[in-house]
A = this chain, B = another copy of it.
């Protein structure tokens, strides 16, 4: 696939941009902070997203999906990312839904994915236990109990943990924390006995938090994929999710850049537009290049997934590493070039830095992905 949008993709992008611009209230990011009863997202917005068909994009027609690809998923994620929209889309469609679509049984797919597509079901993935993304560092134990399992442990940084109806939980049925073998994924109800959600508001006004499991019962039918082979699903899932997250990050980086360039053209200081100062010009030029390079690698990595290319996982590492760095740079340069006003909560630019930081640390930061890439390439 060529690294340009097809006509259909351009239409999708335009309609997504319209929707985000006109329906999403950026100020929601501030309002949610005072709202202790928040669901962690705006249900009305999510309803509209469902109506637009976005939740159905990557799923097969059998389960009510549109059978489109990551290229299309990336288009809508980028547009949502531009205005820092908060929805349980990434956790439901990409993470939870992605896990079921990749590794779920036919029954699980039939039970879960139609609900994801029609918006009646919200999912998330609970895997992280240590401070930094490390997929095999799972200690949560699933011990055999009769025909089923009892799961106990604690998960951290579970995105949208408050709103999810069902959770895909990584637990250990063999081996030790750090081992690739012995991981098993379970599909659990949010209301299961012994499952305790403790959520909060993240830096960037997304929701997330801890999940505590105390002897949570799971049946053999709740196992996603095969016992002890959860890593096969997780490896592919995280690779894809990293690219999806990068598409969203690209949108944010692009918008922070665009806003700042506009500001450079308007703002006057020392009797001139500040955009006429070469010091800022050169930094803006470099920033432009960084965002362009990010856009290219995001497009390439999305298509590599759709095409099942051999280099897809390598590209995913390159993609998330660069997205993390470029978005962080965009947040920082955005504030610095706006000056004092950029530091105020009243102004929007600061929210990009916050989203950049959370997104950077979710699913592995650039150092993590450099190391992964090095291992794949045999460095």
Contact = CB atoms under 8 A, between A and B. Distances in A.
Interface stretch (A187-195, A274-282, A343-351): A274-282
Contacts of A279: 278-279, 281-282
Contacts of A280: 278
Interface string A265-302: 00000000000011111100000000000000000000
A279 B279 CA distance: 4
A130 to B, nearest CB: 20
Interface of A is mostly: helix
Contacts of A278: 277-280
Contacts of A282: 279
5 contacts: A277-B278, A278-B278, A278-B280, A279-B281, A279-B282
A278 B272 CA distance: 13
A280 B277 CA distance: 11
Interface of A: 277-282
A148 to B, nearest CB: 47
A281 B278 CA distance: 9
A101 B277 CA distance: 56
A86 to B, nearest CB: 37
A307 to B, nearest CB: 39
Nearest to A277: B278
A282 B280 CA distance: 10
A286 to B, nearest CB: 11
A287 to B, nearest CB: 14
A279 B278 CA distance: 5
A280 B278 CA distance: 8
A17 B219 CA distance: 84
Nearest to A282: B279
Nearest to A280: B278
A278 B264 CA distance: 15
A301 to B, nearest CB: 31
A282 B282 CA distance: 11
List the 4 shortest-distance A-B pairs measured between CB atoms, nearest first: A278-B279, A278-B278, A279-B282, A277-B278
A185 to B, nearest CB: 37
A264 to B, nearest CB: 13
A363 B279 CA distance: 36
A335 to B, nearest CB: 18
A70 B320 CA distance: 49
Question: Most B CB atoms within 10 A — which of A277, A279, A280, A281?
Answer: A279
A281 B279 CA distance: 8
A279 B280 CA distance: 7
A192 to B, nearest CB: 44
Nearest to A276: B278
Contacts of A281: 279
A278 B276 CA distance: 10
A196 to B, nearest CB: 38
A341 B280 CA distance: 27
Contacts of A277: 278
A67 to B, nearest CB: 50
A189 B184 CA distance: 70
A58 B277 CA distance: 51
A281 B282 CA distance: 12
A66 B20 CA distance: 78
A277 B279 CA distance: 8
